[in-house]
Amino acid sequence: MTDPGFFVGWRRVTAGALRRFLLGVAVAVPAGAALLAVGLGTAAVDPAGARFALLPGASAPPPLPIGDTALAGIVTLAPYPVLHLPGDAAAPRGRAVLLADDGKLGAALDPALDGQRIAVQGYALARGEIDMVVLTEPPTKLAEPSPGVAVQRLGRWRITGEICDGKCAAGGMRPGTGLGHRACATLCLDGELPALFVATAPVAGSAFLLLGAADGTRMPPALRDLIGQRVTLEGAVERRGAMLVFLADPEPGR
Q: What is the DSSP letter of 179?
A: G
Q: Which residues contact 59 (CB under 8 A, 6 or more apart)?
A: 205
Range of lowest pLDDT (41-50, 64-73, 75-84): 41-50
CA nearest to 125, candidates 81, 91, 173 = 173
- pLDDT bin (cut points 50, 70, 90) of residue 206 is confident
CA distances from 251 to 8, 89, 163, 200, 207 (A): 72, 41, 14, 19, 21
Q: Are 214 and 247 in contact (CB under 8 A)?
A: yes
- When pLDDT is averaged across residues 133-151 and rounded to a whole number, the result is 92
Taking the CB of residue 222, how many other CB atoms lie within 10 A of it? 13
- pLDDT bin (cut points 50, 70, 90) of residue 175 is low
pLDDT over 50 (residue 47): no
Q: What is the pLDDT of residues 77-91, one digit of tens each?
A: 999 999 999 988 777
CA nearest to 130, candidates 172, 158, 89 = 172
d(CA 239, CA 237): 7
Rounded to two decimals, the pTM is 0.76
The CATH number of domain 67-141, selected from 3.30.1330.10, 3.40.50.1220, 3.40.50.170, 2.40.50.500: 2.40.50.500
Mean of pLDDT over the chain: 85
**Extents of the domains making up the chain:** 67-141, 151-248
DSSP helix/strand/coil, 169 = helix
How many distinct helices (H) and strands (E) make up the chain?
A: 3, 11
pLDDT over 60 (residue 57): no
- pLDDT bin (cut points 50, 70, 90) of residue 135 is very high
- When pLDDT is averaged across residues 190-215 and rounded to a whole number, the result is 92
Quick one: 146 exposed, middle or buried, by C-beta within 10 A (0-12, 13-18, 19+)? middle
